Homo-oligomer: A and B are copies of this chain.
Amino acid sequence: MAAILPLRALQMGIDTHQEPVVFIRADSEVCRAEGFIANTRILVCVQERSLIATLNVVTNEVLPARHIGFSRIAWERLALSGDEAVTVRHAPVLHSMSAVRKKMYGNTLSKREMNDIIADISQHRYSDMQIAAFLTACVERLDTGEVTALTQAMVDSGKRLTWPDRLQLVDKHCIGGIPGNRTTPIVVAIASAAGLIMAKTSSRAITSPAGTADTMEVLTRVHLDLADIQATVRRANACLAWGGAVNLSPADDMLIRIERALDIDGTGQMVASVLSKKIAAGSTHALIDIPVGPTAKVRSQHDAESMAHLFETVGRTLQLQVRCLITEGVEAIGYGIGPAQEAKDVLTVLQCQPGAPADLRERALFLTAHLLNMAGQGELPETTTLARELLQSGRAWAQFQRICEAQGGLKPIPEAVCSLQLGARRSGTLLAMDNRRLARLAKLAGAPNSPAAGLRLHAKLGQALAMGQPLFTLYADSQGELDYAADYYAHNHDLFMIGESP
C-alpha cells in the first residue's frame, strides 16, 4: 500500500531497554516520502518479520546513507544479523487503543476487547506510553468480568505447562507489601517434602525491593525453560523458577515493567497477573496470602476481603480452586530486605539455625499447613504438626537442596561492596516502622537490580533500644547508591518510630 524504499540494517549500539527504537536519517527519501517526524510509530519489516518501533530522526554523521539503525531490543526482536533489507511505513492504526480509550471513560470492556488489547501488547505493538495509559485506566476500575477476561487473555497470550491428566498441582502466592516476607521458598520446601507437587513460578519485584524470583536467583538458577521446569518437578516434586523466563504470560511481564516504572499495582491487574500465571503453570489449587496493615499494600480488613472475594470468584470461573488467607502485615518479616539479605533469612529458617527469624518461620508453617489441608492431607491441626515436623527434622532443608540441585546447584550468597550501619537516634522502644518507606530505602540502595543491595534490620517491634544501638545496616554495590539511600534516610528518620511504650 505505501511506497517501499529498502534500507540496510545496522546495529546502533544503543540500549533503549524494552522499547524498540529505530534510527533513520532526516535527509532520507523515506522520511520525506512517508512524512515521518521524530517519535512517529512505524512498522519495520524484514522479510516475513515485522515490528512496531518508535522513530528517532538522526543527522548524517550518525548513520551512513541508505541505512536504518536499530536499538538493542529492536535488533533482537527482529533477529537481525546485519545488512538485511528493511522496509518501513506508518504503523497501522491500533484498533485496540479504542478499547483503552473506552476504559478511560469508565466503560466496561468486553472479553473480545480485553483479548485484543492483551494480544497487541504481547505482540509488542504498544509503546510504553500506551501501556502506561492502559494500566492507569484499569487501576481500581475493572469489574469481576473484566478481571476474568484479562486473566484469560493473559493465559492465552503465552505458553502453558501441561501435566498428566488429573495431576494435583498446588501453588502459593503472597500479594506482597511486607518487606522481607519471603515465605515461598520455605513453604515450597516443606510442602513438597510432604509429597505435594509445586511447579512454582515467581515474579520479580514490581514495586518492592525483591520478588521471590529475585531472592531465589541469589541461591540458584531460576531462568528455567518449560522443559527445565518439567524435569525439575519430575526430579524434586517442585521447582522455584522465574515465571518471566518461560513466557507463561508475556503480556503480564510487559505490564509489570511499566507498573514498576510508575510505581503502581492495581487490584484487578494484580489478581489477573497472579491467577494467569497459576493457570498457565497448570495449577489446580492456589493459596493466596493477603497481609493487612497500616503501611502494607492492603490497609483494611474490608479491602482485603473484597480482594479475596475477587481472587476466589475469578479463580472459580477459570476452574482454579483458590483459598485466601488474610494475615497480619504490621512489620517487616525476618531481618533482611533485598534479594541476598532475604535469601540469608530463608536459609537460616530451613537450616533451623538458632538466630533464624521466628516470625518468618511461623508464618511459613501456617501457610504450609493450609496448603496441605487444601490438598487433602488432613485437618489443620494435623497438617500444622506435619509441617513443623518436616521443618525440624531437616527434611525440608534436604528437599530445598534437592530442588536447587535440580535447577543447577546451590550458589554462595553475594556480599555487597559497600555497607553502612545506622544506629537508633534516641533510646526507647521500637514502636512502628513504615513498610513503604523501608522498601523504598532498600530500592534506593539498588535492590533488586543489585542482588546484594538492601538492608538488614537489627531490631523488631517492641524491642528496647539504647541510643546509638544498631538499628539497621544498609548494603549497596556502589557508593553512589549507598549515599543515595543514606540521604533518603537522613530525611526520613521517622520511618522508625522510637518512644516510650504506651
Taking Cβ atoms with an 8 Å cutoff, the residues of A that contact B are 1-3, 12-19, 23, 26, 32-35, 37-39, 56-62, 71-72, 89-90, 93, 97, 101, 104-106, 127-130, 132-133, 135-137, 139-141, 258, 261-264, 266, 440, 444, 446, 449-450, 476-481, 483-484, 487-488
Contact = CB atoms under 8 A, between A and B. Distances in A.
A129 B18 CA distance: 13
B23 A104 contact: no
Contacts of A37: 17, 449
Given A26-B15, A105-B140, A262 B130 contact: yes
Nearest to A41: B261
10 contacts: A1-B484, A3-B479, A14-B56, A15-B58, A16-B39, A35-B478, A35-B481, A89-B480, A105-B139, A132-B133
B480 A35 contact: yes
B479 A16 contact: no
A463 to B, nearest CB: 29
A90 B262 contact: no
A1 B140 contact: no
Task: Give the dominant DSSP class at A's interface.
Answer: mixed
Nearest to A32: B478
Contacts of A90: 444, 480-481, 484
The 8 A-B residue pairs with the shortest CB-CB distance in the complex, in nearest-first order: A13-B59, A17-B39, A136-B136, A15-B38, A34-B480, A17-B38, A104-B139, A15-B57
Nearest to A491: B93
Nearest to A72: B38
A333 B477 CA distance: 64
B23 A14 contact: yes
Given A479-B33, A483-B3, A62 B12 contact: yes
Contacts of A484: 1-2, 89-90
A140 B106 contact: yes
A387 B368 CA distance: 82
A101 B35 contact: no
